[in-house]
Amino acid sequence: MKEVILEKDFTILKCLNLILNSQEEEVKIKISDGSILLNQKNNLRLLIRYLKSYGKVFKIETESLKGKEFLKSIFNEESEEGFLDEFKEMEESPISSQKLPKTLNPSKLQKFDFEKIKIFFSAKKIFLPLIIFFLIMGISIGSYLYIKSQNKVYLVLTVGSERFVKSFEVKLSSVSNTDLENKIMRVSKINQTSKIEKEAPTTGKAETGKKAEGEIKFSNSTDQDITLDKETELTFKDGNKDLVYLIKDKIVVPKRTLVSTNPETYVSGEASAETKASLFGSSYNISAGKSLSIKGVSSEKLKAVVSSSFDGGVKNTVNAVSLEDMKKLSDNLVTDFKSDTQNLDQPGKVFLRSSQIYNLVSEKFSPGLTEPSDILKLTQEINLSYLLYSESEALAFAKAIVKDLVPEGYELFGENLQVEIGILNLISVAGSPNDEAKAQLTIRSYKIPVINQDEIKENLKNKSVAQAKDYLDKLDLIYNIESNSLINVFGFPESKDKINVSIKNE
């Protein structure tokens, strides 16, 4: 009967899964004090009904008084619901048990008719002594054979052992097959791409708002038309600060015109242009009449004066995405992912540490650099490739490698060697940095003399204890015979199968 211990920090789901996943039909369940199962009666009832529905034979044991009371109460309830015939509550013991009735067969409950038996004996009085004699004989022979069949011997042989530790440099390859001669072991390479997300507050600052707009009048005092391109810069000196404005559209300021020859009088050519501030802010809201300088044109030739005051300029400072925010979030996300992928063992397969190669496939920030936002969100696609080896294949590989290193007459103790593989460096052969790896394979075990168990059993069968000891004394090992007292009556069993030999190393 398999024993399952339900610890106090197990959830109900974990408890159920642990028991149901056990292949054994019979389970002994130990519920620790403080377990969630003892939080309320319903939890324990759920467990019991589950066990029944899966046809498990079970025993429940708990040290908790509350748990015992729950069990008693649940089994009483269940009995009322028709399980009475199959349930036997163990009052004295803390263990309660129950087996699910597959079918209830009423014929099993019929009683013997003692009256009929009585009549039979009186009618056949004459045969009674004979029947009793044969009955006693039969029982005696049967008992003798039964007791003899129970005669089993356990022989423990203790042999001198020597620690066996060997290390080899091997090559682990995901592209070549296992090759003992060249010490190449086949491993699997796993490639997986994960999409991960993370958010973080932004620390950058950005300016938002509106740019001031107004109208500028230009006066041309030359004899040539002057053309100003779109976005020509105009500057107003506000104390020490230069306020720069940009013309919205291309403009041609006509040349001056002669309006009188005597005296010679000219009128400057004039044109107006819609203009806006180059930056956000209310400081750009300047009033009409202010003079501005024009980039690339002398003020003697062309004058610029505000004809319609600038207004609407506003500036706000808000949180925004900075380059540092992006870098930090990206680094953190990769670091988180790396720490989440430090143990990638699979059932029967062992993950090779230091074999991981991370590749950032894509990275998307939302919103983008300098865009105003309190939060920066990052979505990354990371490709992870790593190497795995099969435990059973590694064991077979290790056994084959050390085969020639064990001297004749010796063997390695036990079926399972301890095999450790540690990566020395990664090798690229098919384009990826971790196609192969140079690694150190270490085997740990004990070397013991070869013991021919079959031969020992053959020599011991049917022997008396004294004969057996004589034989064993001649072998160069320590032995211990474990048996019930029947060995003194019957000696060693006739069958080899009833002699169990186990080997212990010193």
Partner 1 sequence: MLQNLKQSFFNILNLNKKSPYFLTFDISSDTFKVYLNEEVNIENEYKLRVRHEFKEYVSSEVSSHGKVHNYEKALQALKKIMSEVETYTKGIKVSEGVLVVSGSNARSIMTTMQITRSSKEEISEAESSEIMQKVFENSYLDLSKIIYDETLEENASLELLDSFPIYLHCDGREVIDLIGENAHDIGVCFSVFFGRSDEIDVHRKLLRQVGISNLHLVSSNQAILKSLKTSKKDKIDAVILDIGSNTTEVIICFGGGVHLNKTLDIGGFDLTLELSEKLKLSYLSAEKIKRFYTFNKLKEKERDVVARILTYNLNHWLKGLVETFEDFKSVKTFPSDFYVVGGSSELPDVHEILFEEPWTKSIPFKEVPVYKKIDFNKLKKLDKAQMSKPNEDLIPVLASLMYLEIRGNL
Binding site for partner 1 (CB under 8 A): 9, 11-14, 16-17, 36, 39-43, 45-46, 49-50, 66, 69-70, 195-196, 340, 343-345
- Minimum CB distance to partner 1, residue 66 (Å): 5
Minimum CB separation of residue 17 from partner 1 in Å reads 7
Helix (H) or strand (E) holding 227: strand 226-228
Q: Is 361 strand, coil or helix?
A: strand
Closest to partner 1 by CB, 16 or 234: 16
Residues 431-454 as b/e (b if ≥16 CB within 10 A, e otherwise) read ebebbbbebebebebbbbeeeebe
The nearer residue to partner 1, 89 or 458, going by C-beta atoms, is 89
Structure token digits, residue 104: 């209830």
Q: Which residue has the tokens 């095999």?
A: 419
Min separation Cβ 365 and partner 1, Å: 18
Minimum CB distance to partner 1 smaller for 9 or for 169: 9
Nearest residue (CB) to partner 1, 33 versus 340: 340
* Cα 470 to Cα 480: distance, rounded to the nearest angstrom: 13
Q: Is 397 helix (H, G, I), strand (E, B) or coil?
A: helix
Tell me how far apart the alpha carbons of residues 31 and 400 are, in angstroms, rounded to a whole number.
45
Cβ proximity to partner 1, 38 vs 247, nearer residue: 38
Question: Are the C-beta atoms of residues 274 and 287 closer than 8 Å to each other?
Answer: no
Least Å distance, CB 378 to partner 1, is: 14
Task: Tell which residue, 300, 310, 92, 348, has the closest CA to residue 213.
Answer: 310
CB 286 → partner 1: shortest distance, Å?
A: 35
Nearest to partner 1 of 37, 228 (CB atom)? 37
Q: How far is the CB of 6 from partner 1 (least distance, A)?
A: 13
Compute the distance between CA of residue 115 and CA of residue 142 in angstroms, rounded to an integer: 29
The rounded Cα 2 to chain-centroid distance in angstroms is 27
Across the beta sheet with 478-483, the strand order is 478-483, 153-159, 499-505
Question: What is the residue-wise DSSP string for 133-161?
Answer: HHHHHHHHHHHHHHHHHT--EEEEEEE--
DSSP tally for the chain: helices H, then strands E:
10, 28
Residue nearer to partner 1 on the CB measure, 82 or 138:
82
Least Å from the CB of residue 71 to partner 1? 11
Smallest separation, CB 36 to partner 1 (Å): 5
Nearer to partner 1, 66 or 498 (CB): 66
Q: Which is nearer to partner 1, 334 or 486 (CB)?
A: 334
Minimum CB–partner distance for residue 40 and partner 1 (Å): 5
Q: How far is the CB of 41 from partner 1 (least distance, A)?
A: 6
Joined together, the tokens standing for residue 335 give 């670091």
Gap between the Cα atoms of 76 and 56, Å rounded: 19
What's the rounded Cα separation, in Å, for the pair 59 and 53?
15
Residue closer to partner 1 (CB basis): 20 or 478: 20
Distance in angstroms (rounded) separating the CA atoms of residues 197 and 208: 28
Q: Which residue has the tokens 């013309």?
A: 247
How far apart are the two ends of the chain, measured CA to CA in Å?
32
